[in-house]
Structure 1
Amino acid sequence: MKIPLYQLDAFADRPFEGNPAAVCPLDAWLDDATLQKIAAENNLSETAFFVPEGAGFGLRWFTPVSEVDLCGHATLASAWVILNQMGPEREDVRFATRSGELIVRRGEDGRLVMDFPAKPAVPRAAPRALIEGLGAEPIEVLASDRDYLVLFAAEDDVRKLKPHFARLRGLDRLGIIASAPGVSADFVSRFFAPSVGVREDPVTGSAHCTLVPYWAARLGCGDASLEARQISARGGTLFCRHLGERVTIAGRAALYLCGEISL
């Protein structure tokens, strides 16, 4: 069996920036064990698989150790493959996922614009393991239904974090978003998810489902565009808007390789 394989750097203008994602177009779903083994072999934070479903596609995402319910950068990469390699005449693509229908449209300046559900966070008492795991005292802690949102006073506070991942692994949320006001962007963030085998994700589109509602309210931006920067070692830039129950997250992707998997 031959399976097409693309690897793209999402939320990047060129290779070696942003977040690498593997994308495997399929004619029909393989069994879950095989999908998980492929993701483990790829050893990237996510591998996306999609199959044709009506006028759109079914889409699933796997880390090296588990399937996840929502992933931004691998959705962006999957849309890039469809809109640039498979259907260049298309203006958008619709994905059926565990998180409902996700739409990705062509935007300005080569960006792709993703329409995702908003996942606002509410204040939460900070678990001891969270503070000890981050090794720093935040100014505020909130939680969405998926992640912790941990706020710091300045960009440099987020940049200097050196988490103790073993302490963070047992928390009752998938990931930890650390964020602060930005210097050259509206806000910055980092994202840690050791519970699903991803110590630090280079650029995390799904985290912005929580970040955008928070920063839009804090900065009084309404539905105006927000520029976000994830300040991991690779780094990436996202252009976002808050639309009530939805957010849009836009960015570019750069093709790194294409080939095939032999099974």
Structure 2
Amino acid sequence: MRLAMDVVNAFARGPFSGNPAAVIITDKPLPDKQMQAIAAQNNLAETVYVVTGETPWSIRWFTPAREVDLCGHATLAAAYVLAERGLLEGDDVAFSSASGPLAVKRHGDGWQLDFPARLTGPALDVEVGHIASALGCQKDDIETCFDGVQLMVVLKTEAALLALNPDFRALSRLHDFAVVVTAPGSDDFVARFFAPNAGIDEDPVTGSAYTTLMPYWAERLQRTSSKARQLSVRGGWLECTLADTRVLIAGVVEPYLQGEIQVPEL
């Protein structure tokens, strides 16, 4: 069986930046086992599957190691590829997903996600020495930590965030999914994202993380719109808006590869 597959870079600023996602569009769903096997073969942060034979179109995301319930950059990528293939009738698309209805629309030169806001859990009253050790920073660099969908660590400075030297095995023991680290920055705020338990030591750009980051920074900065940057090697650029219980996350998509894969029938 042959399947068309596109690889594009989401939240990019020019070639070889942003987060690569593989996009596969079918009219019928593939078996779960096959979707996971393809994602493992691709070895990208996410492979996204869109099924156009369902109403609304369904969307699912797989890392090399597991399925996740929400992914921003791959959803942005999927909307871009659907438009490039002439499958969209207008400038927006609605998906059904494990996280409920999701919408994406054109936004200037890019696309904008409409995702549910995810508030942080309670601040953790813990000894932060083991967290600092896992991240490769000083205890005094850490301002606070929150539990939630992922462990969220707030650092005092952008310089400390840039200088992190993580021990990924130790990080995998801090949270069963991921650790997001954030700080005030030269943009309104900056972040890095580590998910070794999902097969991604450091994610280049993590759109879903901003569903938690933006509510936190909106309250702290006392404004509902911010520019954010993810300080991975590839770099990521996002414009975020808190709109009641939703977070709007905008970015640009850059094309990279169009091709075809061959997989066995299951």
Q: TM-score range by the shorter chain?
A: over 0.9
Q: Deviations over 1:207-253 (max 9, x none)?
A: 100100000000000x3x21000010000100000112110000010
Contact 1:56 1:93 in 2 (8 A): no
CA distance in 2, matches of 1:172, 1:161: 18
Structural mapping, 1:49-68, within 5 Å: 49-68=49-68
Contact 1:5 1:258 in 2 (8 A): yes
Q: In the alignment, what sits opposite 2:26?
A: 26
Q: Deviations over 1:10-63 (max 9, x none)?
A: 001322000011001112111111111100110101100110155531000000
RMSD of aligned Cα (Å): 1.4
Secondary structure in 2 aligned to 1:214? helix
Q: Deviations over 1:157-197 (max 9, x none)?
A: 000001111011123341111111111x1000000001111
Q: What displacement does 1:139 show?
A: 1.0
Q: Which ranges of structure 1 fall in alignment gaps of 5 or more residues? A: none
Q: Deviations over 1:81-125 (max 9, x none)?
A: 1122233542110111100011001112x1201000111113123
Q: In the alignment, what sits opposite 1:10?
A: 10
Q: In the alignment, what sits opposite 2:211?
A: 209
Q: In the alignment, what sits opposite 1:164?
A: 167
Q: In the alignment, what sits opposite 2:201?
A: 199
Secondary structure in 2 aligned to 1:100? coil
CA distance in 2, matches of 1:152, 1:129: 15
Contact 1:4 1:24 in 2 (8 A): yes
Q: In the alignment, what sits opposite 2:146?
A: 142
Q: In the alignment, what sits opposite 1:218?
A: 220
Residues 172, 90 of structure 1: CA spacing in aligned structure 2 closer, same or farther, 3 A cutoff? same
Q: In the alignment, what sits opposite 1:246?
A: 246
Q: What displacement does 1:198 show?
A: 0.5
Secondary structure in 2 aligned to 1:64? coil
Residues 13, 84 of structure 1: CA spacing in aligned structure 2 closer, same or farther, 3 A cutoff? farther
Q: Is 1:153 equivalent to 2:156 in the alignment? A: yes
Structural mapping, 1:223-234, within 5 Å: 223=224, 225-234=225-234
Q: In the alignment, what sits opposite 1:111?
A: 110
CA distance in 1, matches of 2:221, 2:174: 29
Q: In the alignment, what sits opposite 1:87?
A: 87
CA distance in 2, matches of 1:28, 1:8: 22
CA distance in 1, matches of 2:66, 2:176: 15
Contact 2:5 2:23 in 1 (8 A): yes
Bigger Cα displacement from structure 2, 17-26 vs 45-54? 45-54
Secondary structure in 2 aligned to 1:7? strand
Q: In the alignment, what sits opposite 2:262?
A: 262
Q: In the alignment, what sits opposite 1:120?
A: 119
CA distance in 2, matches of 1:85, 1:252: 17
Query: In structure 2, which of residues 167, 173, 178 is the aligned counterpart of residue 175 of structure 1?
Result: 178
CA distance in 2, matches of 1:80, 1:193: 25
- What percent of counterpart residues are identical? 44
CA distance in 2, matches of 1:203, 1:167: 22
Q: What displacement does 1:132 show?
A: 2.5
Q: Deviations over 1:63-95 (max 9, x none)?
A: 001101111000000010112223354211011
